[in-house]
Amino acid sequence: MKFPFVRSLLATLFLAAGVAHAATDEASVKKNLETFVGGPAVDSVKKTPYGGLYEVVLKSGELIYTDATVSFIIDGSLIDAKTRKNVTQARMAQLLKIDFATLPLDQAIKQVRGNGKRVIASFEDPNCGYCKRLAKDMQGLKDATIYTFLYPILSPDSTEKSKNIWCARDRATAWNDWMTAGKVPAAAAASCDTSAIDKNVALGQKMKVSGTPTIFTADGNRLPGAVPLAQLDQAMNQAAGK
C-alpha cells in the first residue's frame, strides 16, 4: 500500500530539519567568529557549495570564508575551477548593488547630454585626480544624464570647494570648470544652504563608498574608479537594456 501523504509529510519534515540545522550552523559560525574578533562584526553568514566553506559578510563590507568551527579564515578570492568564475568578485558586486531609484538626486549636480536617456550617478571629491580624469573623459559622453554627488572625503579643502561649487549659480558649469580647467569656484555666500554636502557624506558612508570616483549605473551596479569611457558606455548601454 502506498501512502503519498506520509511520504510528502516526511519529506517536508526532513527539509525543515535540514533548514534548521543549516541555520544553527550559520548562527554558530557567527558566534564563534565574533568571539574571535572580539565584537559584533558579522553582518551575515551563508554556507557555500564549496568544500564546506561558509561565506561571512562583515559589517565593514568585507567578504571572508571559514569552516563550521571557525578553525581558519580565508581572506581572498574564491574561484570556481569548473567555470573559472571568480565567485567572490561576483558576490561582492551583488552585495554592493543599490536600488538606484532610492538615490536622493536632488542632492546631486545634474547634467544632461543629448537625449539624456542613459542615467548614471557618481560620488566624487573635487580634489580627486581620478575624478578630474573622469570629468574630462565624460565630456565625450553622449545621450546621458549625469548626477554628481559631491563627496568630499580627502581633505578640509575638498569640503570647502564642494560647498563653493554647490552654491554656484550654475553648479554644473562650476564643477566642470574646476575639474577640467582648474578654474577655482567662487566663495560661497554665507546664506547658502550646504547641508546637501553633509548628507552626501553620510549617504556615501552608508553605501560603503570608500573611494572616488564611484559610479552607479541605472541598474544599480557599481563601477569603482575612473573607468575608461568605452567601459562606461558599455555598462550604461547594458543598464539601459541596449
pLDDT in tens, 140-193: 899 999 999 999 999 999 999 999 999 999 999 999 999 999 999 999 888 899
User: Is 25 within 8 Å of 16 (Cβ atoms)?
Assistant: no
Distance, CA of 20 to CA of 143 (rounded, Å): 51
% residues pLDDT > 90 (the chain): 74
Report the phi/psi class of residue 240: left, alpha or beta, with left for phi > 0 and alpha for psi in -120 to 50: alpha
User: Is 225 within 8 Å of 128 (Cβ atoms)?
Assistant: no
85-97: pLDDT as tens digits: 999 999 988 888 9
Output the pLDDT for position 18. Answer: 47
3-state secondary structure of 46: strand
How is residue 217 written as a grid cell? 549605473
- Relative to beta strand 63-66, strand 73-74 is antiparallel
pLDDT band at 1 (very low <50, low <70, confident <90, very high): very low
Over 50: is that where the pLDDT of 13 sits? no
40-71: pLDDT as tens digits: 989 999 999 999 999 999 988 889 999 999 99
Over 70: is that where the pLDDT of 108 sits? yes
Q: For residue 154, with 0-12 CB atoms within 10 Å meaning exposed, 13-18 middle and 19 or more buried, which class applies?
A: middle
Q: What is the per-residue DSSP string for 73-133?
A: EE-S--B-TTT--BHHHHHHHHHT---GGGS-GGGSEEEEETT--EEEEEEE-TT-HHHHH
Over 90: is that where the pLDDT of 8 sits? no
